[in-house]
């Protein structure tokens, strides 16, 4: 395993477990504790962790965004379940704005093979690539500045493109859902694109795994009352979801062991 991959795995673990231990990581990755210490020092320089005796703990900063690779790996199965439920909410021939980010990419993959005949407007290069060969689907990629790592389009070009369209649904990925602070994200330019998309859609669906519940991140996007539906694998009685219902939001809780009702193209179900 190369250094970059090992550090991404360590970052994923600390964000999930909130703390890591040098000795345990050394055994897991079959390297010396000194190697793990250097990895952790590198993560600390990026603001991901803070070193403590024997290991490190996650930094709780509201402006610290995990790498895209880390977010792709975090709760991957749960995001797939959420994506399948979101895809089932999309009707035939809808005009759909599909956000950037790991959960939105899971939604793009779940839409494949459903024969919905969608028009999809997206600031995500990865989502566009996932859907570009889907039969009877039109993909519109916004303009804008390409953001490294995320492969998302941001800035005035993306916002201006969205302003030209009237769409049925916007599927939004977020970093935080809080009962008091509402919907939030890490990145200012990404958040402006999300707000622009929200203004151009009749319905806003927020797709978020349970790690986002109760979290407040750097940039405020919307109040709870400004979204229509939240799809999450979090518990129905989580305070953030209770507050959302109180604000008139439809909350759909995805069972952890939920099976897909519509197989994706290229899935194991298709192969069988």
Check which CATH number belongs to the domain holding 123 and give it.
3.40.50.1360
Does residue 211 share a domain with residue 101? yes
State the pLDDT at residue 263: 43
Give the whole-angstrom CA distance, residue 179 versus residue 246: 10
Question: What are the tens digits of pLDDT across the range 210-232?
Answer: 889 988 888 899 999 999 999 99
Does residue 172 share a domain with residue 84? yes
Does residue 108 share a domain with residue 230? yes
Last residue of a domain, one of 60, 83, 98: 60
State the pLDDT at residue 65: 65
CA angle 47, 7, 101 (to 5 degrees): 70
Does residue 121 share a domain with residue 11? no
* CA-to-CA dists, residue 256 to 79, 203, 236, 260, angstroms: 10, 26, 12, 12
Residue 131 within a domain: yes
Range 239-249 average pLDDT? 97
Strands in 49-52's sheet, in edge-to-edge order, are: 19-21, 55-58, 49-52
Does residue 123 share a domain with residue 22? no
Name beta bridge partners: 213.
Answer: 177
Total of domains in the chain: 2
Task: Say whether pTM exceeds 0.85.
Answer: no
Give the whole-angstrom CA distance, residue 227 versus residue 229: 6
More confident residue, 66 or 25: 25
Does residue 56 share a domain with residue 89? no
Does residue 173 share a domain with residue 45? no
- Dihedrals φ, ψ of 260, to 5°? -65, 140
pLDDT at 4 over 90: no
Question: What are the tens digits of pLDDT across the range 94-105?
Answer: 999 999 999 999
* Residue 61's pLDDT band (cuts 50, 70, 90): low
Lowest mean pLDDT among 12-21, 130-139, 165-174, 236-245: 12-21
Last residue of a domain, one of 32, 60, 88: 60
- Dihedral of CA atoms 41, 4, 151, 194 in degrees, nearest 10, equals -40
* Residue 68's pLDDT band (cuts 50, 70, 90): low
Residue 158 within a domain: yes
Which residue range(s) make up the domain with 248?
Answer: 70-253
Tokens of 193: 């694109």
Does residue 111 share a domain with residue 87? yes
Does residue 238 share a domain with residue 189? yes
Q: For 75, which DSSP code?
A: T
* CA-to-CA dists, residue 245 to 53, 227, 240, 248, 253, angstroms: 43, 11, 9, 5, 12
Does residue 234 share a domain with residue 100? yes
168: nearest Cα among 103, 121, 215 = 121
* Residue 76's pLDDT band (cuts 50, 70, 90): confident
Distance of CA 247 to the CA centre of its chain: 23
Q: Do residues 43 and 33 make contact, with C-beta atoms less than 8 angstroms apart?
A: no
Residue 270 within a domain: no
Question: What are the tens digits of pLDDT across the range 103-131?
Answer: 999 999 999 999 999 999 999 999 999 99
* Mean model confidence pLDDT for the chain: 88
Does residue 204 share a domain with residue 117? yes
Which CATH number characterizes residue 53's domain?
1.10.10.10
């Amino acid at each position: 395993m190369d250094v970059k991959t090992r550090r991404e795995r360590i970052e994923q673990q600390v964000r999930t477990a909130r703390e890591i231990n040098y000795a345990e990581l050394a055994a897991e990755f079959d390297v010396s504790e000194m190697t793990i210490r250097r990895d952790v020092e590198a993560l600390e320089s990026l603001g991901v962790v803070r070193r403590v005796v024997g290991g490190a703990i996650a930094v709780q900063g509201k402006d610290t965004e995990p790498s895209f690779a880390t977010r792709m790996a975090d709760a991957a199965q749960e995001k797939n379940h959420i994506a399948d439920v979101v895809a089932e909410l999309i009707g035939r021939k809808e005009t759909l704005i599909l956000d950037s980010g790991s959960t939105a990419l899971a939604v793009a993959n779940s839409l494949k093979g459903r024969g919905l005949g969608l028009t999809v407007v997206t600031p995500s290069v990865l989502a566009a690539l996932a859907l570009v060969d889907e039969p009877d689907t039109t993909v519109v990629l916004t303009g804008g500045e390409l953001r490294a790592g995320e492969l998302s389009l941001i800035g005035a070009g993306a916002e201006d493109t969205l302003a030209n369209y009237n769409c049925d649904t916007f599927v939004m990925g977020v970093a935080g859902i809080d009962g008091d602070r509402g919907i939030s994200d890490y990145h200012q330019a990404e958040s402006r694109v999300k707000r622009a998309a929200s203004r151009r859609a009749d319905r806003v669906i927020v797709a978020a795994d349970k790690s986002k519940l109760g979290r407040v991140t750097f940039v405020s996007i919307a109040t709870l009352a400004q979204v229509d539906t939240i799809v999450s694998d979090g518990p129905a009685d989580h305070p953030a979801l209770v507050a959302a219902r109180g604000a008139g939001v439809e909350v759909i809780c995805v069972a952890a062991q939920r099976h897909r009702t519509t197989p994706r193209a290229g899935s194991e179900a298709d192969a069988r």
